[in-house]
Amino acid sequence: MKVENVIEVIELTKTFGDFTAVNAISFEVKKGEIFGFLGANGAGKTTAMKMLIGISKPSSGTAKVAGFDVFSQTESIKKNIGYMSQKFALYDDLTVKENITFFGGIYGLTRKKIKEKREQLVSELGLENISNKLVGSLPLGWKQKLSFSVSLLHEPKIVFLDEPTGGVDPITRRQFWEMIYKAADQGTTIFVTTHYMDEAEYCDRVSIMVEGKIEALDTPKKLKEQFKVDSMNQVFLKLARNIE
């Protein structure tokens, strides 16, 4: 049985003046897959992701996300994806519940559905006691988990996570990945960028971007075999060094 592709990218490029941030990248992501999008700082991960979520216009190439074109159908894409940016982007001056209500509201969920989701989410995250507290007063780890849950509110087909675990302690990172697995089990495709190579091992497939190009793309196991090393960390270092 052939699994459908939810993301198809062909020769996607983004230039800023003379600088090519993303240089003709091509890849597919399958439905329900956890796809790791790796690369050093400034390799072009975030720029590539922004093109896929429809907030940055590609310079050339083609890409389809959830079956919609990134040039002409960005608003349809947005209905079908969730996004969690590397910068915490919920409202610090609203409470946990108010944030959930607001984002549910602008995704067009019904009042009933919002209420349902709100209760479900608060109990799943164990936030019952602080659901009426301002989000700004929560520890970072909790904020990130809340942020991820909010990006799943409207039950998107694909969720894009841009360095979701930056600055978070190992225990919370573990819990975070458990949440990611749960979402993937329910059929949500996960597109995640990260710096942590141990997290790369959790992904079904990873791509490694170096200076705007995808230099490697496969399952973590095959990549390690290909580069004859025994951790993703070494794969990454080998790739990055070769280029330099």
Partner 1 sequence: MKTIGYIIQKEFKQIFRNKGMLPIIFILPILQLVILANAATYEVKNIKFAYIDYDHTSSSRALIEKFNASTYFNVLTDFPSPEKASSAMLAGEVDVVLEIPNHFERNLLKEKTADLSITINAIDGAAAGVESGYVNQIVQSFNQDVKMTIMDTSKKAVQPVTIEGIPSFWYNITLNYKTFMVPGILVLLVTMITLFLSGMNIVREKEIGTLEQINVTPIRKSQFIIGKLFPFWIIGMGLLTIGLILAKVIFNVPMVGSLLLLYAYTSIYILVILGMGLLISNFTDTQQQAMFIAWFFVVIFILMSGLFTPIESMPRWAQIVTEFNPIKYFVEIVRMVLLKGSGLMDILPQLWKTLLYAIIMNGLAVWSYKKVN
Per CB under 8 A, residues contacting partner 1 are 50, 53-57, 74-76, 78-79, 81, 83, 85, 87-94, 98, 101-103, 105-108
Distance CA 151, CA 107 (A): 10
Q: Which is nearer to partner 1, 1 or 106 (CB)?
A: 106
Measured from the CB atom, is 103 or 236 closer to partner 1? 103
Contact assessment for residue 177 and residue 199, using Cβ atoms and an 8 Å cutoff = yes
- Please give the Cα distance from 165 to 226 (Å, whole number): 28
| Nearest distance, CB of residue 135 and partner 1, angstroms | 11
Identify the helix (H) or strand (E) that includes residue 22: strand 19-30
What would the two tokens of residue 50 be?
């922004």
d(CA 102, CA 98): 6
Sign of CA dihedral 113, 115, 116, 121: positive
Q: How far is the CB of 160 from partner 1 (least distance, A)?
A: 8
- Which is closer to partner 1, CB of 134 or CB of 229? 134
What are the structure tokens assigned to 43, written together? 């390799």
Minimal distance in Å, beta carbon 204 to partner 1?
24
Q: Which is nearer to partner 1, 76 or 231 (CB)?
A: 76
How far is residue 25's CA from residue 16's CA, in Å, rounded to a whole number? 16
158 vs 216, beta carbon nearer partner 1: 158
